[in-house]
Amino acid sequence: MTASLPARHVAFDWGGVFTIGTFDGRSTQNVAERGGVPVKRVRDSYFRHVRQLEVGAWTLPQFWAVLQEETGLTLPYEDFEPLYLGSIHDNPAMYATLAALPRTVRVGLLSNNYPVVSDHLRRDPRFARFDALVFSNELGHKKPAPEAFAALEQAMGVPAAQVAFVDDVQENIDAAQDAGFHGLLYHHDHHADFQAALGAWLRGE
């Protein structure tokens, strides 16, 4: 009798996988347009400091206060937060793939993310399908750091070798594979090819 293969599972990145395009690019564009400030000025400040959000060193209001001081934006935080969250552009195809995964498959998320945004995602009913959610702002480490992938493996509760990791950045795929995961590079323009590759992985092919 042939021994059955160990069960296989999957974990995903969020931005660029469950979203189309980059959240940071869209949010900085939206803030610049609403505030009447050149987008380059906003992005220079945003990307200089965004790591403080990603590792949980700053709250979102602290981050916004620094951006205001450096860019001249006068939009109050109460208007900024919904504009920021409204910059998420969902990728419906990936949410359909998520919903269709067999219940025997454990599903995880490892995302370089931000305070408030991570809370917003947790409240999304579609995220109930995830068995493990690891956000960099809560962990204190961001991809591609080994600590991020170690935390994912622990949260998944199965060996990394039994988990495919899906990301839209090659550097993160390389780090995942170094940590023992099976890497699947993703782009929304090739979703059908990705779905076929994921299906083959889950079937042990």
pLDDT at 203: 93
pLDDT at 2: 46
Q: How far apart are the first and last CA of the chain?
A: 19
Please name the residue that has the structure tokens 């552009």.
89
| Average pLDDT of the residues in 112-116 | 95
Cβ burial of 84 (10 Å; 0-12, 13-18, 19+) is buried
Residue 1 DSSP label: -
pLDDT at 205: 84
Return the exposure string of 154-180: e unless at least 16 CB atoms fall within 10 Å of the residue's CB, then b: ebbebebebbbbbbbbeebbebbeebe
CATH 3.40.50.720 fits 9-21+90-202, yes or no: no
Cβ burial of 198 (10 Å; 0-12, 13-18, 19+) is buried
| Average pLDDT of the residues in 110-126 | 96
pTM here? 0.93
pLDDT at 4: 55
In the chain, which residues fall in CATH 1.10.150?
23-85
Map residue 9 onto helix, strand or coil: strand
According to CATH, the topology of domain 23-85 is DNA polymerase; domain 1 (1.10.150)
In the chain, which residues fall in CATH 3.40.50.1000?
9-21+90-202
Measure the CA–CA gap between 151 and 135, rounded to whole angstroms: 10
Query: For residue 182, what are the β-bridge partners?
Result: 164
Res. 21 pLDDT band, cuts 50 70 90 = confident
Measure the CA–CA gap between 45 and 31, rounded to whole angstroms: 12
Reduce the secondary structure of 107-162 to three states and give it as a string. Answer: EEEEECCCCCHHHHHHCCHHHHHCCEEEEHHHHCCCCCCHHHHHHHHHHHCCCHHH
pLDDT at 22: 84
CA max distance for the chain: 71
Mean pLDDT (the chain, rounded): 95
